Amino acid sequence: MLAVHFGAGNIGRGFIGLLLNQSGYHTTFVDVNGEIVDLINEKQEYRVVLADQTKEEVSVTNVSAINSMNDPEKVIDAIVKADIVTTAVGPNILPIIAKSIVAGLRKRVAENKKDLSIIACENLIGGSTLLKNSVYEGLSGEEKGEFDQYFSFPDAAVDRIVPNQTNDDKLMVTVEPYYEWVVDQSMIKGEVPPVKGVTFVDDLTPFIERKLFTVNTGHAIAAYLGYHAGMKTIDEALASNEIKADVEHTLNETGQLLVKKYDFKMDEHKSYINKIINRFLNPYITDEVTRVGRAPLRKLGANDRLVSPAKQFSEVVGGKPTYLAKGIAAALKYDVKEDPEAVEIQELIHENGLKQAIYEITALQEGSKLVDLIIEQYELLGNRK
Ligand SMILES: NC(=O)c1ccc[n+]([C@@H]2O[C@H](COP(=O)([O-])OP(=O)(O)OC[C@H]3O[C@@H](n4cnc5c(N)ncnc54)[C@H](O)[C@@H]3O)[C@@H](O)[C@H]2O)c1
Ligand SMILES: O=P(O)(O)OC[C@@H](O)[C@@H](O)[C@H](O)[C@H](O)CO
């Protein structure tokens, strides 16, 4: 079996590539990082090491890689032959890789007409659907019909903390032991791809919202408040009682929302929150606040981990989502020079004023009480230490 996986980065090698290998696939990674592509082809294997006291090491074999900048035709041919296509490139890159996916799928329709699932393993709601929309953009009506017949884009939720890697061995990835990969089975045409470790469900929404609004909301709060307090890593941020309490209060807000919306049991959800905070505290992982806080424009988007639960909190639970608003305010103050999205946010605030910038970034409407709450929290936060 052949898997084509876009993005040989942290989660690509450390999670998706590992499970694909353990399920019996040969994985062809597609990436634009020439050094990583060459190393994968040279070594044909890499190590995944668990970040716990065991430091257990697993070897991922049966791998190759294509540099999509140099060999776009090879990518197309790999898609024609693939039994599954997965991605972990970052949400903003999905429209870019859609171009080679569409070329590969067109050739597949012409040559073998075999069913195929294409699964985006990114941190966003409806990631595969977003990829599908990009793929379908340039198709004729007839092509859309053919693609609908053979190709599925099931949405997915993926959870495993894989920090930036600093190993001498450039292919080795250190990962936390915990993982969860949930795929919406109801969106799959034909056979469900046999990937060990994947949970197939009929409705992904509760799973992706629970993950994004707990793991990623909590992570974002720790990163933005940690950065604001002059800290470099997530464990350093959580060593501050004040920031830890802010994370807990925020997850209590998203928890109230999730419990009410999806009928989760409160005590089970509280255990889920505790498990996640313990994952953030894993002493075997050093995770930089600039990795976790990266791309703040995306993270402040209307459907992402901060603004979406804050809006829904007011509508579903009632009352003020004060701690989510504090996190949003801290994200608006995130001014890392090396992060183009952070720079853009600071420019928007500088040029248009805070209120207009919030409307533009979050798509919140004029008159929204949440905007007033964010501004209040922004003033309270003051200057960065
Ligand atoms: N790291 C985590 O803890 C984690 C966990 C769950 C989900 N995710 C999600 O997985 C995705 C990837 O995150 P990551 O941490 O692995 O990032 P990463 O930067 O380590 O990996 C991204 C990879 O994509 C490659 N890439 C960039 N442009 C490309 C293109 N046009 N074609 C092919 N490859 C391209 C990069 O070179 C890089 O190797 C993100 O959506 C992230 O939210 C990450
Ligand atoms: O990948 P991002 O930028 O959406 O979010 C940063 C982290 O919160 C994220 O990568 C987590 O480590 C991951 O989602 C854990 O499953």
Q: Which of 177, 202, 227 is the last residue of a domain?
A: 202
- Provide the percentage of residues in the chain whose pLDDT is more than 90: 98
Question: Are 95 and 216 contained in the same domain?
Answer: no
Question: Helix/strand/coil (H, E, C) string of 10-68?
Answer: HHHHHHHHHHHHHCCCEEEEEECCHHHHHHHHHHCEEEEEECCCCCCEEEEECEEEEEC
Q: How many angstroms is it from 339 CA to the middle of ligand 2?
A: 16
Those residues with Cβ within 8 angstroms of residue 185's Cβ, 6 or more apart along the chain or in another chain? 154, 192, 200, 201, 202
Output the six-digit token pair for 372: 């007033």
Take atom 38 of ligand 1 and give the residue whose Cα is closest. Answer: 9
Q: Please check the confidence at residue 207 and state whether its pLDDT lies above 90.
A: yes
Question: Are 143 and 225 contained in the same domain?
Answer: no
The three-state secondary structure class of 339 is coil
Question: Are 348 and 223 contained in the same domain?
Answer: yes
Range of the domain at 48: 2-202
Q: How many folded domains does the chain comprise?
A: 2
DSSP code of residue 153? -
Question: Are 147 and 235 contained in the same domain?
Answer: no
Question: Are 118 and 242 contained in the same domain?
Answer: no
Q: How many angstroms is it from 48 CA to the middle of ligand 1?
A: 16
- Our mutation pick for probing the ligand 1 site, out of 31, 76, 181, counting the most ligand atoms within 8 A of Cβ, is 31
The pLDDT confidence band at residue 190, using thresholds 50, 70 and 90, is confident
Tell me the DSSP string of 226-271: HHHTT--BHHHHHTSHHHHHHHHHHHHHHHHHHHHHH---HHHHHH
Q: Where residue 290 sits, what CATH number does that domain have?
A: 1.10.1040.10
The pLDDT confidence band at residue 88, using thresholds 50, 70 and 90, is very high
Give 223-256 pLDDT, tens digit per residue. 999 999 999 999 999 999 999 999 999 999 999 9
pLDDT on residue 384: 87
Q: Which of 202, 232, 257 is the last residue of a domain?
A: 202
Nearest to 286 by CA among 57, 53, 51, 58: 51
Q: Please check the confidence at residue 131 and state whether its pLDDT lies above 90.
A: yes
Mean pLDDT on 282-288:
96
Q: Please check the confidence at residue 163 and state whether its pLDDT lies above 90.
A: yes
Give 165-180 pLDDT, tens digit per residue. 999 999 999 999 999 9
Q: Please check the confidence at residue 58 and state whether its pLDDT lies above 90.
A: yes
Question: Are 31 and 162 contained in the same domain?
Answer: yes
Q: Please check the confidence at residue 203 and state whether its pLDDT lies above 90.
A: yes
Mean pLDDT on 135-159:
97
Q: Which atom of ligand 1 sits closest to the CA of residue 91?
A: 41
Q: Which of 148, 176, 202 is the last residue of a domain?
A: 202
Question: Are 148 and 250 contained in the same domain?
Answer: no
Mean pLDDT on 273-283:
97
Question: Are 300 and 189 contained in the same domain?
Answer: no
Question: Are 155 and 233 contained in the same domain?
Answer: no
Single pTM value for the model: 0.97
The three-state secondary structure class of 352 is helix
Question: Are 8 and 149 contained in the same domain?
Answer: yes
The three-state secondary structure class of 3 is strand
Question: Are 183 and 287 contained in the same domain?
Answer: no
Q: Please check the confidence at residue 78 and state whether its pLDDT lies above 90.
A: yes
Q: Please check the confidence at residue 385 and state whether its pLDDT lies above 90.
A: no
pLDDT on residue 119: 98
Mean pLDDT on 321-337:
98
Q: Please check the confidence at residue 138 and state whether its pLDDT lies above 90.
A: no
- C-alpha count within 13 angstroms, C-beta hemisphere, residue 293: 31
- Average pLDDT value for the chain: 97
- Our mutation pick for probing the ligand 2 site, out of 130, 161, 286, counting the most ligand atoms within 8 A of Cβ, is 161
Question: Are 325 and 283 contained in the same domain?
Answer: yes
Q: Where residue 179 sits, what CATH number does that domain have?
A: 3.40.50.720
Does the beta carbon of 161 sit less than 6 angstroms from any atom of ligand 2?
A: yes
Does the beta carbon of 68 sit less than 6 angstroms from any atom of ligand 1?
A: yes
